[in-house]
Amino acid sequence: MNDWWKEAVIYQIYPRSFQDTTGNGVGDIKGIISKVSYLKSLGVDAVWLSPIFTSPMKDMGYDVSHYTSIDPLFGTMQDFDHLVDSLHRNEIKIIIDQVLSHSSNQHEAFIKSAQSKASLTADWYVWADPKEDGSPPNNWLSVFGGSAWEWEPQRRQYYLHNFLKSQPDFNFHNIEVQKYLLNIVKFWLDKGVDGFRLDTVNYYFHDKSLRDNPISPKEFIKPPVNSYYMQNHIHSINQEENLKFLQSLRKLMDSYSGKTLIGEIGDSHRAIDIMKQYTKDSRLHMSYSFELLGKEFSSAFIRKTIESFFDDDTESWPCWSFSNHDVVRHVSRWDESESEEFAKLTCALLLSFKGTICLYQGEELGQTETKMEYDELRDPPGIRFWPEDKGRDGCRTPMTWENNSIHGGFSKADPWLPVKEQQLAKSANLQERNANSVLNFYKKMIAFRRMDAALSKGNQTFISEENDLLIFFREYKSHNTLCIFNLNKEKIIWSKPDNLPVKNSLSSGIKIKDNHIEFSKFAFMIIQGFKGDLEN
């Protein structure tokens, strides 16, 4: 079906840390191929690969120097073709990252652009003259710290970089740039990929007048660790021209059958509104948000986030996740005890939401954040903002496949990031033979979602979030499913409706009495076939 993505459970693979087959300490494409049977047993519908393109790896592949070749670190194009074929034979779709907002400064087009204002690619990037005092043209800041402008002595101009100075931003106002990037997308579509996860999709266009950004509407008791968040980025990102380009991109996608676009929406002020805007009127199929990737975890916040997305538009579609390669793993972020009970609760909760679901590798093991030392870091923001912000390396450490093998079975060589005892204790081999493990619960919950039409297709209606007991219905035609989650660390007593069925349910940590149900901390119950009424 062409809208398969609406019901999909997507599994994000960070290739550097999945499986190494070459013995260089870095994961590779053949390593992913060797684990396709694992992905099949997990029950996911698609995988999303973080970048595998040729890159100097200043930002671990999100700085692309050649868009239509595979970096030798990961393998060859033949390996990639084999991966696509292997996944498709196992009925798993493949989605690849596309970093279109910026390239590496080692990209041929940027090298030529930096050398001369008369080069063929002179206007492919965002260049601006300095102010009279030699300072940058405006106050725009980089997500990775400091000014978003870097001086290039060859041109006597500044160039824009919303991220590292080695990641110059493309000038999307140049039609030739748009054509070039659309041709890259077409290349990978012709290779058989099923879709794209578009990195920083709302960063494509900039204000041509280069107006200063105003201060953030948020009030800070003291400045944040990263000064980037002190601005409201109304001119450097989220421009109206973005929407027209996305329609051109969507037109290309629609010329193929069954393809999908997921756009990463990064904005600290109005992300939900932008998510909705970007997924209507033949733009993106769905938007990937950071709203549930932050520090706040409460019933009220979850209800507000989901209801605000669906409050006025049925056409827009979200992709929800709790963890990814950019944030602290959610079991560590939200639960100080890093318990298996919490890992199972969040699995059941996420997979009960209306929308497409994305899981991050290791999440299905209940994996925790790796505690990093400064000399172990590889992530530029972590190195820059240490120790106030320890960066993203802690969530990127290698998968642990076998607890009794060197480096957890990830590699025979010292891995690019360390494998530590806390992560080894959650290795896949230990969990596969434990019926009550987090891994086996993920398998059960993914299968439960797939066979329950209400969970996979239905509307979501919230009933209550009082005292962090989150209750909502999922409804699809004649299918009704009631979901109850105790997000508390305390036991909660819930009055049981007389006609509450309990046979067709999936639960953990509950005790059913005559007229009530006891929910222990992080307990939940997902009940099929409930047709009664609950008071709001």
Active site members: 199, 264
Q: Which of 186, 189, 166 is nearest to 178 (CA)?
A: 186
Rounded Cα gap, residues 505 and 9, in angstroms: 21
Rounded Cα gap, residues 497 and 494, in angstroms: 9
Element (H, E) at 13: strand 9-13
Three-state helix/strand/coil letters over 205-267: CCCCCCCCCCECCCCCCCCCCCHHHHECCCCCCCCCHHHHHHHHHHHHHHCCCCCEEEEEECC
Rounded Cα gap, residues 20 and 525, in angstroms: 39
Rounded Cα gap, residues 458 and 432, in angstroms: 31
Rounded Cα gap, residues 11 and 27, in angstroms: 16
Q: Which residues contact 315 (CB under 8 A, 6 or more apart)?
A: 279, 280
Rounded Cα gap, residues 459 and 464, in angstroms: 16
Peptide bond into 223 cis (omega under 30): no
* Token pair for 131: 């102010």
Helix (H, G, I), strand (E, B) or coil at 85: helix
Q: Which of 192, 190, 151, 191 is nearest to 168 (CA)?
A: 151
Q: Are 313 and 280 in contact (CB under 8 A)?
A: yes
Q: Are 274 and 265 in contact (CB under 8 A)?
A: yes
**Sheet arrangement for strand 127-128:** 127-128, 157-160, 149-152
Rounded Cα gap, residues 279 and 456, in angstroms: 19
Element (H, E) at 68: strand 66-70
Rounded Cα gap, residues 10 and 359, in angstroms: 6
Rounded Cα gap, residues 499 and 509, in angstroms: 21
